[in-house]
Protein backbone atom coordinates (compact mmCIF):
# COMPACT_ATOMS: atom_id res chain seq x y z
CA UNK A 1 0.00 0.00 0.00
CA UNK A 2 2.87 2.40 0.76
CA UNK A 3 4.31 1.89 -2.72
CA UNK A 4 0.87 2.42 -4.24
CA UNK A 5 0.67 5.76 -2.42
CA UNK A 6 4.18 6.61 -3.56
CA UNK A 7 3.21 5.87 -7.16
CA UNK A 8 0.15 8.08 -6.78
CA UNK A 9 2.26 10.90 -5.35
CA UNK A 10 4.69 10.57 -8.24
CA UNK A 11 1.88 10.82 -10.78
CA UNK A 12 0.18 13.74 -9.07
CA UNK A 13 3.24 15.77 -8.07
CA UNK A 14 5.59 14.63 -10.87
CA UNK A 15 8.32 13.93 -8.33
CA UNK A 16 11.46 12.01 -9.03
CA UNK A 17 11.69 8.48 -7.66
CA UNK A 18 14.33 9.64 -5.17
CA UNK A 19 12.01 12.28 -3.73
CA UNK A 20 9.15 9.78 -3.47
CA UNK A 21 11.45 7.24 -1.78
CA UNK A 22 12.57 9.89 0.70
CA UNK A 23 8.93 10.80 1.45
CA UNK A 24 8.13 7.11 2.05
CA UNK A 25 11.17 6.65 4.33
CA UNK A 26 10.31 9.76 6.36
CA UNK A 27 6.70 8.62 6.67
CA UNK A 28 7.66 5.12 7.80
CA UNK A 29 10.24 6.50 10.23
CA UNK A 30 7.67 8.81 11.79
CA UNK A 31 5.21 5.95 12.26
CA UNK A 32 7.89 3.74 13.82
CA UNK A 33 9.16 6.58 16.02
CA UNK A 34 5.68 7.41 17.30
CA UNK A 35 5.21 3.73 18.10
CA UNK A 36 7.72 4.42 20.93
CA UNK A 37 9.74 1.25 20.34
CA UNK A 38 13.50 1.60 20.88
CA UNK A 39 13.61 5.15 19.56
CA UNK A 40 17.42 5.53 19.37
CA UNK A 41 17.68 2.35 17.30
CA UNK A 42 15.01 3.53 14.88
CA UNK A 43 16.60 6.98 14.54
CA UNK A 44 19.87 5.27 13.56
CA UNK A 45 18.10 2.98 11.09
CA UNK A 46 16.18 5.87 9.52
CA UNK A 47 19.36 7.92 9.21
CA UNK A 48 21.07 5.02 7.46
CA UNK A 49 18.16 4.63 5.04
CA UNK A 50 18.18 8.34 4.28
CA UNK A 51 21.91 8.27 3.54
CA UNK A 52 21.48 5.21 1.33
CA UNK A 53 18.84 7.01 -0.72
CA UNK A 54 21.08 10.09 -0.95
CA UNK A 55 23.90 7.88 -2.27
CA UNK A 56 21.60 6.38 -4.92
CA UNK A 57 20.53 9.81 -6.19
CA UNK A 58 23.57 10.57 -8.47
CA UNK A 59 23.30 7.13 -10.10
CA UNK A 60 19.58 7.60 -10.75
CA UNK A 61 20.16 11.06 -12.22
CA UNK A 62 22.71 9.76 -14.71
CA UNK A 63 20.47 7.03 -16.13
Q: Which one has a higher pLDDT value, 63 or 26?
A: 26
DSSP labels, 6-59: HHHHHHHH---HHHHHHHHHHHHHHHHHHTTSSHHHHHHHHHHHHHHHHHHHHH
| Residues 5-28, mean pLDDT to the nearest whole number | 69
Burial of 37 (0-12, 13-18, 19+ CB in 10 A): exposed
**12 pLDDT more than 60:** no
List, for residues 36-49, the tens digit of each pLDDT value: 655 666 667 777 77
Per-residue pLDDT, 20: 76
Mean of pLDDT over the chain: 66
Residue 18: pLDDT band (50, 70, 90) is confident
Amino acid sequence: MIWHLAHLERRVLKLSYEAVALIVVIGVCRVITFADVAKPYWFTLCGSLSRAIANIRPKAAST
